Structure formats: structure tokens, C-alpha cells
Amino acid sequence: MPKVIVVKGEKGSGKTSAIHEAARLLGCGLTTNSPADIFMITYLKLGRTKCGIGIASSGDSAEIIKENIDALYPHHLDYVITACSAPRAGMPIIEAFAALEGAELVTIDSNRQPSATPEEISTKVAAIAQQIRSNIP
């Protein structure tokens, strides 16, 4: 069954960084020089299975989320990893996409920590990335 994995939280909460780190853990070839907002479709062999994975790290508005979903939908991927900073307007779009694909919807919260140290932020980003990765066998 396909999965749609959404990292949800306000702007500046580490969603994009976590998605980048998860893509790196999956072996998608991202580097520290990769653009902040990524949109990619890749096919990876995970174990003995080839998986189609769509990654859209930008989710600051319902319009951007809809554009990402419109671009991902025709590919009927095994996994979609995306961000959502506009839960009231964006999550219904993502939920409809998951239902249309017959996909399991996994939501991971990324809460903003205004007074967090760089080390605490890195730890949080790594933990979210690991959560994303653990949803893809």
C-alpha cells in the first residue's frame, strides 16, 4: 500500500531540513549544496523492491501544496514525502490525494522551538528524518 508522509508544522520548524535529511538517508543524492526547496521523483531499489518516491519539501501555502500534488499524482508513486505549513488549507488537499491514491496517510509533527540551540535543532531534525525513513521499508 502506498504511503503519503507529511511533516506538518509552522514555518521555520525544521520541516524542510528533516525532509532533506530523510532524502539523504534514503540515498537520493542530495548534498549540502542542494536547493532548500526540493521537488523530485526518484526510483530506488530498497532491499529487493523498486520504489517510486516523490519528495516535495515546500508546503508553505495551499497553492504550493496543490501544485506539488498535481505534479506527483500522474506518477502513482509508492511513497510521497511532503511538508505542510498551512494545515487548515493544505491538509485537506493532502488527505484527498492520499484517499485518491488509496494511500496510508502518516503525519509527523514538527513543532517550532524558538529558544532551541543549534544542537537541539539538529537533534530534532535528525529524529524527524529517522521517523520519515522508518515509514519506508
pLDDT tens-digit readout, 75-116: 989 999 999 998 889 999 999 999 999 999 999 999 888 888
CB atoms within 10 A of CB 122: 14
What does the pLDDT read at residue 38? 85
Mean pLDDT of 20-30: 85
d(CA 9, CA 2) in angstroms, rounded, equals 23
User: Which residues are CB-contacts of 31 (< 8 A; sequence separation ≥ 6)?
Assistant: none
What does the pLDDT read at residue 91? 94
What does the pLDDT read at residue 35? 66
Judged against a pLDDT cut of 80, whether residue 31 lies above it is answered with no
What does the pLDDT read at residue 8? 95
d(CA 111, CA 24) in angstroms, rounded, equals 22
Average pLDDT score over the chain: 90
Mean pLDDT of 68-74: 92
Mean pLDDT of 42-66: 90
**Reported pTM:** 0.91
CB atoms within 10 A of CB 54: 22
Confidence of residue 33 (pLDDT cuts 50, 70, 90): low
Mean pLDDT of 19-30: 86
